[in-house]
Amino acid sequence: MLSLIYLIGSVTFIVGLKMLSNPATARKGNAIAAGGMALAILGTIFLYRHNGQGLHNYGWIITGLVVGGVIGLISARRVKMTAMPEMVSLFNGMGGACAALISVVEFEHMAGTLADIPDVHGQLGIIFAGMIIGTVSFAGSVIAWGKLNGRIRDISFQGQHILNLSVLAVIVLLTLFVAVTLPSAIVTLFAAVLVLSLIYGVFFVLPIGGADMPVVISLLNSFTGVAAACGGFLYNNPVMLTGGILVGSAGTILTILMCKAMNRSLKNVLIGAFGGAKAGGVTREQGAYKEIGLSDTAVVMAYAHKVMIVPGYGLAVAQAQHACHELETLLEARGVEVRYAIHPVAGRMPGHMNVLLAEADVSYDKLLEMEQANGQFNTTDVVLILGANDVVNPAAKSDPSSPIYGMPILEVENARSVIVNKRSMKPGYAGIENDLFFQPKTSMLFGDAKQVLQQLVAEIVNSL
């Protein structure tokens, strides 16, 4: 009976994941996977038998489920759309910690009676693997979470990668040593590997730039999948295995796809062009930029033929999507053609801008993908950049020493004029200067994106 339930659970995971990769069926797919998960959990609680014995400690289990469920539900409901990626990262860390804890308990369980266990080497190997991967995923996710909400800065130093690799090598060698020779100091060594894994997780993520966090989270996500699969081996449990491995392999592919969307290799992200490029990223003299006022902007936009809006993280922070839609309708009513140019990694996660603009009822066919948009900039009169920076930085094309060199960008400099709305002249997330702001056809319009847009709308309605 229970194996049947596990079979259903595994199938729902596969079907759910498949449906999640298509916009039309994604939401249903998520619900199906959730249903399968609920079934598998309930089945385990009530039907699990080991050597003819059921589970006990029901009070603890139910309390844990309720407490965790309430915390998960509340935090998932309360979190703002802009903070979504860090939330996912945190949840991922919880899963990793859960996998690691399981390994710790199982280890404690068998540590005393090593000699009596058949296949002890294999079991130990799996327990160590689950503990290491889970711990790395947990530590890394917490760091990624801290980076995304700005609590932790990028820290990198000379030789960091060599240090990381050495730590990793020590972890692997110690594990092999323990699993093969079963030394008497096994508990101490287990603890040592645990601590080293924590350290490795922290050092692994610390040097990677904040803008690359979605890629890192996706990678850690697949780590946790593998850690869960270790549990599947431990308990001969097929649903943990399918679920875990499925996420492990799908997560890896997804990570690579995300890298491709930024035109960078995974190695490049991990070895850290952002963190390691201190030499190339020397702060240059700031050139002179020119400011533009609200009324001038209103005039320029209202009398243009075609306006292209480039949204970025600034739009998300200011929650300006509705004001943006308002401006768009107003301009369209005056006969101006308005389009949105969406860079694949604009904002803090892929698809961030599409989600926000969809929320504000912006029509889908007005959102242009990067290739489309780049083909249209030379017929565009005004580009309005709302809190985007790195995705329009021409250094990505022209300056090989720039940390973002090679990333495809929106080629806004091909338009006739560019208006940049930012809160200040501070550099963007990658922490580098943007030459675009100092070009003669660019003007700066400082202020909070939402306020500026609302004032623009008022200006156009009242005075034009």
d(CA 252, CA 225): 10
Smallest gap, in angstroms, from Cβ of residue 76 to another protein? 4
Cβ contact 225:181 at 8 Å: no
Residues paired with 417 in a beta bridge: 382
Q: Give the type of residue at 139.
A: A
Nearest partner of 297 among 395, 418, 187, 379, judged by Cα: 418
3-state secondary structure of 292: coil
3-state secondary structure of 94: helix
Smallest gap, in angstroms, from Cβ of residue 347 to another protein? 10
Cβ contact 112:136 at 8 Å: no
CA angle 203, 108, 241 (to 5 degrees): 70
Residues paired with 309 in a beta bridge: 340, 384
Considering the complex, state which of residue 86 and residue 459 has its C-beta at the smaller distance from another protein: 86
Smallest gap, in angstroms, from Cβ of residue 353 to another protein? 9
Considering the complex, state which of residue 121 and residue 267 has its C-beta at the smaller distance from another protein: 121
Considering the complex, state which of residue 7 and residue 299 has its C-beta at the smaller distance from another protein: 7
Smallest gap, in angstroms, from Cβ of residue 322 to another protein? 13
Smallest gap, in angstroms, from Cβ of residue 367 to another protein? 9
Burial 219-241 (b: 16+ CB within 10 A, else e): bbbbbbbbbbbbbbbbeebebbb
Smallest gap, in angstroms, from Cβ of residue 270 to another protein? 17
d(CA 344, CA 324): 19
Cβ contact 452:293 at 8 Å: no
Q: Annotated catalytic sites, by residue?
A: 390
Smallest gap, in angstroms, from Cβ of residue 291 to another protein? 34
Nearest partner of 432 among 387, 401, 402, 397, judged by Cα: 402
Considering the complex, state which of residue 131 and residue 444 has its C-beta at the smaller distance from another protein: 131
Nearest partner of 237 among 463, 47, 21, 23, judged by Cα: 47
Considering the complex, state which of residue 252 and residue 389 has its C-beta at the smaller distance from another protein: 252
d(CA 390, CA 436): 10
Considering the complex, state which of residue 185 and residue 369 has its C-beta at the smaller distance from another protein: 369
Query: What six digits make up the tokens of 244?
Result: 């875990």
3-state secondary structure of 351: coil
3-state secondary structure of 149: coil
Considering the complex, state which of residue 251 and residue 428 has its C-beta at the smaller distance from another protein: 251
d(CA 133, CA 401): 35
Cβ contact 50:116 at 8 Å: no
Considering the complex, state which of residue 114 and residue 180 has its C-beta at the smaller distance from another protein: 180
Smallest gap, in angstroms, from Cβ of residue 116 to another protein? 17
End-to-end Cα separation, the chain, in angstroms:
73
Nearest partner of 91 among 220, 237, 239, judged by Cα: 220
